[in-house]
Amino acid sequence: MELGGKLHAIHPSAYRASKSSAVRWTRRVGARRSSVSLAKGSESNADVIRKVIGLEEDAKLTAVELSAGFCNQVMLVKRIAYDGGEEALVVKLYSNLALLRTEQRQRGVVDKKLSDLNMGSQLIASTDEGIAHRYLEGRILTEEDMHTRADICAATARLVAKFHLLEVPPQFDDATSPLLW
């Protein structure tokens, strides 16, 4: 099974699960509501999300906080198109800690490269406030998967090996310390 651009999520078809059961599982296990806000000053999270994805103030969106973020706030955002359709995105709002750990010129560079090479989910937007990717329906890859599923372990190893063959982007040439992410 090739993971390709789906490293962070395993497509439900790999488990012969129906789409609706995978969606229910994602909603039940992968999302949580939180009152914690990483928005700066008087801005709301919705304001920051709109800036990241370039959405007009009057455009409709919904957002649910996901539980998989390390130090940033990670949101599942659905933006509603004028024709009534919707697009699901994963939007990461940068925390102050994340802003301290990465130089502005380095943020989003690796995400863009992986998106362009189809090794990661499609990059939608990258700003000083955060980054947005196309949402890939599935479930979170777990440590248990890596220990019990040889197909997943092998596909992950191939993807990581492919990643390690890439040239380091020039934005990192003058790095004096290891980058955490």
Give pLDDT tens digits along the chain (181 positions): 333 333 333 333 333 333 333 333 333 333 344 434 445 555 788 899 999 999 888 788 899 998 756 788 999 999 887 788 889 999 999 988 888 888 888 899 999 999 999 999 999 999 999 999 999 998 888 999 999 999 999 999 999 999 999 998 998 888 776 665 5
The first and second tokens of residue 138, run together, are 């599935």
- The conformation of residue 72, written as its DSSP 8-state character, comes to S
pLDDT of residue 67: 72
Nearest-angstrom CA–CA distance, 165 and 162: 5
DSSP string, 81-149: PTTS-EEEEEEEEPPHHHHHHS-GGGTTHHHHHHHHTTSSSPEEEE-SSEEEEE---SEE--HHHHHH-
**Hey, which residues does 31 pair with through a beta bridge?**
66
Q: What Rg do the C-alpha atoms of the chain give, in angstroms?
A: 17
pLDDT of residue 68: 58
pLDDT of residue 179: 65
Q: What is the pTM of this model?
A: 0.70
Would you say 10 and 145 are in contact if contact means Cβ atoms under 8 Å apart? yes
Nearest Cα to 128, choosing from 107, 114, 100?
107
